[in-house]
Structures are given as C-alpha cells and as structure tokens.
Structure 1
C-alpha cells in the first residue's frame, strides 16, 4: 500500500469519526426530531420533577438548557447553532424576537389549557393576541428590606432609599432597566422614558444614592440579603419570595410611584425541529396541577387562575406578590426601546456604576 493511499484512508477514517462525533453532539444539543424536545429557560426556573413527568406522559426526551439573560438567549437563537423548541424570554425580548422573525406562531387550538390563564395577562402590548407567546410567570420589581435591622423604617416610596440612615446598607441588582428605571420612577417618569433630559436627571439623582449602596450584584443578592449582609435590596418579586422563605425578617413592597410589571412567556423559536412537541410542552405546563406545582417550587407569581385555586388563599391573597388592580394599573411593562436607546440606558448605568466605585 502506497504512502498516499494510507494517507487517504487515514483522512477518510478521521472524517467519518468527526462526522459521527458531530452527529452525537448535535443530538445532545437538541438537533434530534420528534422524540426530543430542547427547552431553553432561565436557571432554576422549573420544577425538574415536571420535566420527568412530561417525559413519562409523552415519551418525548427533554434536553433542558439554561441562560442568564434575555440578550444571551436571543444571541444563541439568532446564531441557530442549537435547534431550541421552547424558550422563555421576557416581554421586551419577545417584542424584539418578533421583529427579527425569530418566532413561530402558536396554534391556540393545540393549547386548550390556555383557558386557565387570567385575561389580565393576555393580549398585552408586546404580543397582541398572544400569537407568539404564552404566559409562564409574572412579577414586579420592588424593595426587599429587613425589619429586624431597620425596626423603625418603612418603605412606601423609591425616595425612601435616599435616607441617610441607610448608608452602606443597600444592594442593587445588576440591571440597567431596573436601576435606571428606579431613578426614573423616583422622579415620576416612565420606565420607558426616552427623553434625554429625563434620563440624565435620573442618572444624576442615582449618583447621589451611592453613599447608601453597599454593592451592585447578580444572583448572590438573595444569599446576601437572607444572611443579613445588607438591610435593603432592589429585587424582583420572585427573588424576594425566596429571601423571605430563608429569613422571616425580610419584607417586600412595591413603591407607590409605580414600578416594573414583568412577564416571562413561553415561545417557539424558529429553530424548532419539534413544533408539535413544543405545543404539547406548553399545554402541559398550563395544566392547573402542573402550574401550581411549578409556582410552589419557583416562588414566582402564576398567571394561571385554576392553579391559584389549588395553591389557596394563603398564596393568592398575599398582595405583595399578587397585588390588587389599583397597584398593577400603576405598573409598566418594559418596552422594546430599540438598540440605540437600550445602548444609551446601558451607558448611563455603566457611568453610574463607575461613579459608585
């Protein structure tokens, strides 16, 4: 056998080996067909027992992957390297994904459990008619505070955070929309304000808050507040519920000026290779018993009325997490501000963080 022939055979063997490996990896990454479903969700945002239950009921194998930001999720779907079948973006991300043709329309006839969703959470501005998304969880942004460390302090307004007694006692989540939004709300401006003067005014006011800020952090904010490393935090309502579970001294309030009313919805990305299985999964998650189990595990507010009946008055009657209409009417959903304005929000937030340092 000539040297050239041996070389060609070696190349063929290596090529077939690489092809086999790629096929194996593709199957693992969610490239399979009708018997596999790849779900892309936030971390620790589902009761994994429900995934096993879905697999048992349908015979569909679920590959579950997580992301830590809407931006990371959208980038991965835009790249198309993995054929995600179900994803769980937030409202402004859904609006952007619609614009960029990244979503498949949902067939409501295949989602009979949609009837259990509270009408307040349907037909919203980011997805009229829910053509592309189905509600998963919702919540608010507000103030978590330690009643033991601050026995004589009440929080009704965002402006209460500027109290000199709170020096080095406040943690903020590392989010531009949340922090700049807090500044805007404290001035009675909209969370979606694009007026340059208003935005600069909000940023300048936030700069005056820096003596009270201990740190700007990510997911560790839950642990730090629960362990009483700080007395106050700007947090999402579901995180507040987790903190309160770990520490009975923590309370939560949505300030009277208003705040963010956010939604995470289930969508079917254009990358889906199992559209029918995606509909089955969405409908499964809307089953009242499944939705109640999931809400009990995750701690966020469910939009599922039938699930709330299962959870009972102790849950549904807690106005900190299921606020009345007079409060929710003052809350705002984040609009998709466009790349240019969103970049400006991020720039202002970065300037604020640099000022903090």
Structure 2
C-alpha cells in the first residue's frame, strides 16, 4: 500500500518477518522448504519500499516518535509504548500470531545450582511476576499475579492473549539447518 511508504516497521529478526509472509502465502511459519521460504522472500520484497526500519533493539521508539505507523512489534514493547502513548494499539494478525516462550534455565555445568533454584523461585513469586509484567510488559505463567495487577493490566490482551488468539497462534519452532536458508533470503531482503 503506497499510503504507508516509509512508515512500516519490521523487527530485525528473520524468523519473525518470514513468519508473516509464510502465513500470508498459506505455509507453515516453521517450514524448512526453500521453495516456500523463497516465495515468502518474494512477497516481502514487495513490502520493502514501505519499510522505515528493521528494529529489534527498541521497536517501540519509531512508533512513539511517529516514524512508523504500522508494523511488527513484540508484546512487551507494545505494552510499554501504549503506556507512554495510548493511541498506539496492538492488534493480533488475523492469520495468527507467532508465539515464543522465554524460560529460566540452569546450565548443566552450573556451580551455584541451589542459588539458581532460589532465584527462579523468587522470580516466579506473584509479587516478583507483577514487577516483571508492569516494567517489561511480558506475561508470567503465574495464576497468583492477576489479582495483584491493576484491573486494566489484568484484562489487557497484550499481556494475556485471549484464548481465541492463542488457538490461532503458532509456536515458533526450531527449523534446524534450514535457518541458513532463512538467513540467505533475509540478507538479500535487507540489501534489496
């Protein structure tokens, strides 16, 4: 759409960006087939003239500064941007959102395993989860946190996606060595 020339923001993440085009083309966003990835690249090439920036470091900033009017953004960044400017809205794509999960993990050869468990236990407490949610905008899998949140945050679909969105969403999976195919077309896209 020429109306948005230079006003679209995409994350600087090959998998996230290709996810969008793969879904629009009717393919799995976790495909490992080069033919499908190349077709997604061709679709994205048509979008490039509208792209203001590829930004994953602070994707909310171009929206807040009026440099981008639509595009991709992570839910935490969208939550923080909306807090600063209520006119910024987060909309789930009708084709389905990509979902991913951040985890706490203890490396196999960790020396301070007891302390690592204590840290994870601390972070998973409802009071700690509340701080993470309010400051970062990332939901925590903790049933006890919602009553501690402001009502508008507890009901915020950016923090807690509705079941209908979760059902449509797709978990970003490991594509193994096909990541090299994604990166090949990603590098072409960015230098287009």
State TM-score, norm by structure 1: 0.52
Whole-Å separation in 2 of the counterparts to 1:318 and 1:288: 17
Residue deviations 1:86-141 (CA, integer Å, cap 9, x gap):
xxxxxxxxxxxxxxxxxxxxxxxxxxxxxxxxxxxxxxxxxxxxxxxxxxxxxxxx
Which structure dedicates a bigger proportion of its chain to strand? 1
Residue deviations 1:253-307 (CA, integer Å, cap 9, x gap):
1101012111101000123111111111111111111211221121212221101
* Equivalent in 181, 186, 190 of residue 349 of structure 1: 186
* Equivalent in 23, 28, 50 of residue 212 of structure 1: 50
Whole-Å separation in 2 of the counterparts to 1:298 and 1:309: 18
Secondary structure at the counterpart of residue 215 of structure 1: strand
Residue in 2 that maps onto 1:255: 93
Q: Tell me the CA shift for residue 237 of structure 1.
A: 0.7
* Equivalent in 43, 65, 75 of residue 227 of structure 1: 65
Task: Kindly report the root-mean-square deviation, in angstroms, between the aligned alpha carbons of the 2 structures.
Answer: 1.4
Secondary structure at the counterpart of residue 321 of structure 1: coil
* Equivalent in 105, 108, 123 of residue 267 of structure 1: 105
* Equivalent in 153, 158, 180 of residue 320 of structure 1: 158
Unaligned stretches of 5+ in structure 1? Answer: 1-162
1:236 aligns with 2:74: yes
Q: Tell me the CA shift for residue 202 of structure 1.
A: 0.7
- Count the aligned residue pairs: 192
Residue in 2 that maps onto 1:11: none
Assess if the C-alpha contact under 8 Å between 1:171 and 1:215 holds in 2.
yes
Residue in 2 that maps onto 1:175: 13
Q: Tell me the CA shift for residue 312 of structure 1.
A: 4.3
Whole-Å separation in 1 of the counterparts to 2:173 and 2:137: 25
Secondary structure at the counterpart of residue 271 of structure 1: coil
State TM-score, norm by structure 2: 0.94
Whole-Å separation in 1 of the counterparts to 2:97 and 2:27: 10
Assess if the C-alpha contact under 8 Å between 1:185 and 1:259 holds in 2.
no
Whole-Å separation in 2 of the counterparts to 1:212 and 1:231: 11
Please identify runs of 4+ aligned residues in structure 1 that moved more than 6 A. Answer: none
Mark the structure with the bigger radius of gyration.
Answer: 1
